[in-house]
């Protein structure tokens, strides 16, 4: 759809979507990223700031507290984060490495919680940020248990390359998804960022993948045989807890 054919709501969503988590942008930067006219962008930024969806500091804007408050009203997401944090803390205590909680949104994995590890290697993940399902352990863990039609929709599109190790052959990825479906363990080796590997497991509710837990480790310390039992156990336990709170009584 052409930028000049977008509704005000669509343009507002476009503006909000270009803001990275925790980063302020100038009018010029937002204009460049959205492709909207400068005058339109300025008007939208001012209106969104008045609503509290953006916060203005001098000549820069950043995501506002009102968006956070609105997001916290989303039932499953709020319940998922609240339930997941203790399990993430346990994983962090055992591994001392970065722990992620992610959900699927279309063809991407969206990071909804993160506990930073002690290692200083760079990670492309950030809370509220998104990466392709196909080159992240959480993404592959979310995709593997999905219906064939969902998988086909992802595999039929060009697979994005983030590093020389990103999987871009759909047949190779399809075989990997089959393995993940059998084992409940997804592994990513420097496919999203060089220098880091990740191991993830899906969180299932009534057999459906609603989230994924992962641990990210520097490549030279990656030992999947040691990480897999802890990550798989945490994901299973989180799924059971969510099932209990969904039904209002313990599982039989």
Euclidean distance between CA atoms 135 and 108, whole angstroms: 10
Euclidean distance between CA atoms 139 and 150, whole angstroms: 13
* Residue-level pLDDT at 116: 84
Cβ-based neighbour number of residue 147 at 10 Å: 9
Mean pLDDT of the chain: 87
Nearest alpha-carbon partner for 71 in 61, 56, 81? 81
Contact 113, 81 (CB under 8 A): yes
In 3-state terms, what secondary structure has residue 61? strand
With 50 as the cut, is the pLDDT of residue 251 above it?
A: no
Q: Count how many Cα atoms sit within 13 Å of the Cα of residue 25 in the half-sphere of its side chain.
A: 22
Contact 212, 102 (CB under 8 A): yes
**Which CATH class name applies to 74-247?**
alpha beta
- For 157-189, letters b (16+ CB in 10 Å) and e give eebeebeeebbeebeebeebbeebbeebbbbbb
Structure tokens belonging to residue 216: 């990210």
Euclidean distance between CA atoms 118 and 106, whole angstroms: 31
Question: 8-69 and 74-247: same fold?
Answer: no
With 70 as the cut, is the pLDDT of residue 97 above it?
A: yes
What confidence category does residue 170 fall into, taking pLDDT thresholds of 50, 70 and 90? Answer: very high
Indicate the CATH number for domain 8-69. Answer: 1.10.10.10
Structure tokens belonging to residue 21: 């988590």
Contact 188, 198 (CB under 8 A): yes
Which comes out higher in pLDDT, residue 65 or 138? Answer: 138
DSSP 7-45: -HHHHHHHHHHTPPTT--EEHHHHHHHH---HHHHHHHH
Which comes out higher in pLDDT, residue 42 or 246? Answer: 42
Nearest alpha-carbon partner for 203 in 105, 128, 102? 102
* Residue-level pLDDT at 125: 79
With 80 as the cut, is the pLDDT of residue 122 above it?
A: no
Structure tokens belonging to residue 153: 């929709």
Domain locations along the chain: 8-69, 74-247
- What are the tens digits of pLDDT across the range 11-61? 998 999 888 766 789 999 999 999 999 999 999 999 999 998 899 988 999
């Amino acid at each position: 759809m052409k930028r000049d054919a977008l509704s005000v709501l669509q343009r507002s969503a476009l503006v909000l979507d270009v803001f990275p988590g925790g980063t302020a942008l100038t009018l010029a930067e937002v204009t460049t990223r959205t492709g909207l006219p400068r005058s339109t962008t300025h008007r939208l930024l001012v209106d969104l700031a008045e609503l509290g969806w953006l916060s203005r500091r001098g000549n820069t804007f950043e995501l506002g507290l009102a968006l956070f408050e609105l997001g916290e009203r989303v039932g499953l997401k709020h319940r998922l984060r609240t339930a997941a944090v203790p399990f993430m803390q346990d994983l962090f205590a055992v591994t001392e490495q970065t722990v992620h909680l992610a959900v699927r949104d279309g063809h991407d994995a969206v990071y909804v919680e993160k506990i930073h590890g002690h290692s200083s290697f760079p990670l492309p993940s950030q809370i509220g940020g998104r990466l392709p399902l196909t080159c992240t352990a959480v993404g592959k863990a979310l995709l593997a248990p999905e219906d064939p039609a969902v998988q086909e929709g992802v595999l039929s599109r060009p697979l994005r390359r983030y590093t020389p190790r990103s999987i871009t052959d759909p047949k190779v990825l399809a075989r990997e998804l089959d393995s993940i479906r059998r084992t409940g363990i997804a592994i990513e080796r420097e496919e999203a960022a060089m220098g880091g590997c990740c191991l993830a497991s899906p969180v299932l509710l009534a057999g459906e993948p609603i989230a994924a837990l992962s641990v990210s480790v520097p490549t030279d310390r990656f030992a999947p045989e040691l990480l897999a039992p802890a990550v798989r156990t945490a994901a299973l336990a989180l799924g059971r807890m969510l099932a209990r709170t969904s039904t209002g009584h313990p599982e039989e």
